[in-house]
A and B are shown apart, each in its own frame.
Chain A
Amino acid sequence: MKSGASPKGLRGYRRPHPGTQPQYNYPPYVSTQKRCPTQPLVLPPQTLSEITGPVFGYGDVKPTDNDLTRQHKGDPVGERIIVSGRVLDENGKAVPHTLVEIWQADSAGRYRHKTDQHNAPLDPNFSGAGRTLTDAEGRYRFVSIRPGEYPWRNHYNAWRPAHIHFSLFGPAFLTRLVTQMYFPGDPLLPYDPMFCSIENEAARNRLVSLFDWESTIPEQALGYRFDIVLRGREATPMEK
């Protein structure tokens, strides 16, 4: 690539290891069937358009946006938790100053959303959304409550395991990631088609957080550690 190239040439992003990402058509998750492409995807070379992406900064988030327990007059019901970790790339390098957005159900498994008709009580002191930027070492931290499990209509007696939705940008269009964090030892995990859509066991388990004694605050909140890995750079430039 001539114009726009750095002296070393642009470096593309690595392709996913087989089995570590879900397929678009995964019949056990019923809604995928009418919402997946049926034609083969086109595999183009990565260009400047894909190795760049939107840049967010400290002007986009308030320092308190990472505390979901202090968005209302009263305290939300439930078990307080600290969710923290690092955002790394596949080469183990920290991803600094990147936007992390989360959303989740309240402790009864209810979302503050007009289409959530589950008859569990809605916590008036919990909105369920937060955001933050990673620091220079790729670290992030949220304060929240442990979300409840809830039923859905995918199959008979279907329940989603407790989870927190995560959305990350990373440095490029190609590093965009939306995922879910699960909790260790959740008995619903083996029954969950979303979790089970990831064929590779190690990749699946990467989405399960770990209980973290070190970030646990005595008499206040349990700590869970959740490290997130975004696509990393290829070792060699895309083109001379």
Chain B
Amino acid sequence: MSLYASANQTVGPYLHIGLNWLVTRNIAGPKAAGERFTIEGRLVDGDGVGVNDGLIEVWQANSHGKYPHPEDLQKKPLESEFRGFGRVPTDAKGAFRFTTIKPGRVPGPGGRLQAPHLVITVFMRGMLKHLATRMYFPDEPANTDDAIMKLVPPSRRGTLVARRKAKSRLEWNVILQGKNETVFFDF
């Protein structure tokens, strides 16, 4: 049997009505192990204006590099209160902010470990289908060997790596168009 997957349609301007009940800005919760970060950024459109009706979702492994999902069969510890999911709407200026822990490394193509990363989905009015991207961590030697990062033209790789603002504060922006346009993936 082969069915066409349902088509995506935009979340529209009133997404908050249906989606805000699950807003999660503290992704790791109080008990998870790992190095904690606050991640701040802006979602910016082609006019350089902050997107005030956008939403990002985050999916990540715990600090041991384990996803709380039945298909992650790695023998690594799970943490009972760690769901690995975040949902963060943008504010009036297009800014978003969340806290989490740096995930451990998870296997990638050929069983080689990927660099620590957050998997990100971007939703907004004017976007008929969500966009997928990734956020990597600064000062992380594994970034240069990451199989997915290596597929990105070198001049654009920087758009995927957060900048350190302070010891535990990172900045990472999602730029939809223009000179520093964020790299988006089509998995």
Chain A interface (Cβ < 8 Å from any Cβ of B): 1-6, 10, 13-14, 16-17, 20-24, 26, 29, 31-39, 41-55, 60, 88-92, 101-103, 105, 111-113, 115-116, 127-131, 165, 167, 171-174, 176-180, 194-195, 197-198, 200, 202-204, 206-207, 228-232, 239
Contacts and interface: CB of A to CB of B under 8 A. Distances in A.
B54 to A, nearest CB: 9
A212 B182 CA distance: 45
Report whether over half of chain B's contact residues are helix, strand or loop; otherwise say mixed.
Answer: loop
B142 to A, nearest CB: 14
B18 A41 contact: no
Nearest to B47: A34
Interface of B: 1-19, 21-22, 45-47, 51, 53, 57, 59, 61, 67-74, 83-85, 106-111, 114, 117, 119, 121, 123-132, 147-148, 151-152, 156, 176-178, 181-187
Contacts of B16: 113
Contact of B121 (A6, A131, A176, A228): A176
Given A36-B176, A49-B59, A111-B17, A42 B7 contact: no
B187 A38 contact: no
22 contacts: A2-B107, A24-B131, A26-B128, A34-B47, A41-B184, A45-B147, A47-B107, A48-B67, A102-B18, A103-B14, A103-B19, A105-B14, A112-B17, A115-B14, A129-B17, A129-B21, A173-B119, A179-B9, A204-B7, A206-B4, A228-B6, A230-B5
Contacts of A10: 71
A39 B2 CA distance: 32
Nearest to B106: A48
A58 to B, nearest CB: 15
Given A1-B110, A129-B18, A177-B5, 8 more contacts: A4-B72, A35-B127, A42-B184, A44-B151, A45-B147, A111-B14, A115-B13, A165-B14
B5 A90 contact: yes
